[in-house]
Amino acid sequence: MSELNIQYNQEVLERFIPLSSAELAHLLVQRWRQDHPEDKAFSRFIEALATVYDAVYARELEELKPLYMPFNPDHDMVKPMNLGDEEEAKKRLIAKVESFLQDANFNLLDQQMLNEALNKTSPYGVEVSVDLSEFQETLIFYRGTAVRTDKLRRWQSLFLKEEQIQVPVYRRLFVLLQLKPENGQAPAPIYMKLFKDIPHSDLETIFPNTKVKMRLFDKIKLAVTGGGGAVTGIASAIGKLSAAANPTAAIGAVAAIGGIIWKQVSSVLVQRTEYMMQLAKNLYFYNLDNNLGAVAYLVELASAEEHKEALLGYYFLLEQPGLTQKALDEKVEAFVKEQLDFAMDYEVRDGLEKLKHLDLLQEEAGRLRVIDPAAATDKLKSRWVALFPG
């Protein structure tokens, strides 16, 4: 699906920045060099900032790996590590994952939103149901609300007329699932998956226990195309069976009845197979990564968001020292709107907290400043060295 067919919902203020770290760095460097054409210190600062966040989150990922190992359905270890208290181990794992989701600016899909999504009807010809009671853990987060424009032919127009439809989608969707254990299996695997551009009405397709349902239209189609022929055929076969004068003829009539019934059953099975193929196609194009790979992907998103938030706060305080918190917030949001035509809610307090944590921020009487790029780069280098002592 082309990105040109997807537009973010401008009525929703997003927390994430829909621009890669490299693209944002390029924009800010070009802007800085308009007034400082010979200054390369700012570029070096950006590289140092990215390096620190990459190192911090690489370390966080390494800390998560042993937590996930006993629950990882993909592990190939002969003897998984001893969990001790399984519930406590699971709580630590989920808390770690949730912290990454928060840093990557994902939002929780709460129970009400989930129920609303599961009750929507798909326009694509795949309808499925899911039993949430089969899960011990269900955690779903999304990032980015958008609308995708698709083309569809409906049966009401005899499939002759193509019309455009607006399909609400989640740009990114993270799912953590744990089925209830079977036969005393402990611990039950925890599945983590990352998807893109999932239609709200197709949310059921991301669950492993989906059951395919027939649409009303398809039930009617089967009844109309198969029903009449089946009744006529069976009636004819029964007539032959009644009139049969020998066992061979009777067996033939019975076989005919069986064949007619099988024809209708196989028609339903073919329809069901078509649904499953469409479901597999949807998941093939929507799935980004699974399990530990999904966590690594998520960590990369978290690192990038933290880097971009800190960089935006630093740049506009460098460009205009003495801004208030409110003025900085407005500057960043106006810049993103101007460059990307994208409405976002810059979490200015969070951004300033990052700069303060890195020892780059100065504040006096509510006025904010940052240290110069060369000094900031030196501080970041020292912090990077401290991450890997000895």
Taking only the tens place, the pLDDT of each residue in 301-349 is 999 999 999 999 999 999 999 999 999 999 999 999 999 989 899 999 9
**Distance separating alpha carbons of residues 136 and 192, to the nearest angstrom:** 14
Buried b (16+ CB within 10 A) or exposed e, 153-178: eeeeeeeeeeeeeebebbbbbbbbbb
For residue 1, what pLDDT is reported?
Answer: 46
- Calculate what percentage of the chain has a pLDDT beyond 70: 73
In DSSP terms, which residues pair with 363 in a beta bridge? 368
For residue 181, what pLDDT is reported?
Answer: 83
For residue 328, give both structure tokens.
Answer: 């900085």
Q: What is the pTM of this model?
A: 0.81
Q: Which residue has the higher pLDDT, 164 or 292?
A: 292
For residue 111, give both structure tokens.
Answer: 């129970």
Long-range contacts of 266-271 (CB under 8 A, 24+ apart): 267/222, 267/225, 267/226, 268/214, 268/222, 271/214, 271/218, 271/222
DSSP letter string over 237-290? Answer: HHHHHHH--SHHHHHHHHHHHHHHHHHHHHHHHHHHHHHHHHHHHHHHHHEEEE
DSSP symbol at 184 = T
Give the three-state DSSP class for 44. Answer: helix
Helix (H) or strand (E) holding 194: strand 191-199
Q: Which pLDDT tens digit goes with each residue over 238-275?
A: 555 555 555 555 555 556 556 655 555 565 555 566 65
Highest mean pLDDT among 33-37, 152-156, 290-294: 290-294
- Which 3-state string (H, E, C) describes 209-241? CCEEECCHHHHHHHHHHHHHHHHHHHHHHHHHH
Q: Torsion over CA of 182, 184, 186 and 188, rounded to 10 degrees? A: 10
DSSP symbol at 14 = B
Task: Output the CA–CA distances (angstroms, integers) from residue 179 to 71, 119, 190, 268, in the order listed.
Answer: 11, 22, 8, 30
- CB count within 10 Å of CB 70 equals 20
- List the chain domain ranges: 3-58+300-387, 66-211, 216-272
- Calculate what percentage of the chain has a pLDDT beyond 90: 51
Q: Which pLDDT tens digit goes with each residue over 125-147?
A: 556 778 888 999 999 999 999 98
Is CATH 1.20.120 correct for 3-58+300-387?
no
Q: Are the C-beta atoms of residues 344 and 14 closer than 8 Å to each other?
A: yes
For residue 372, what pLDDT is reported?
Answer: 97
For the four alpha carbons of 177, 180, 183 and 185, in that order, the dihedral sign comes to positive
Q: Which residue has the higher pLDDT, 330 or 87?
A: 330
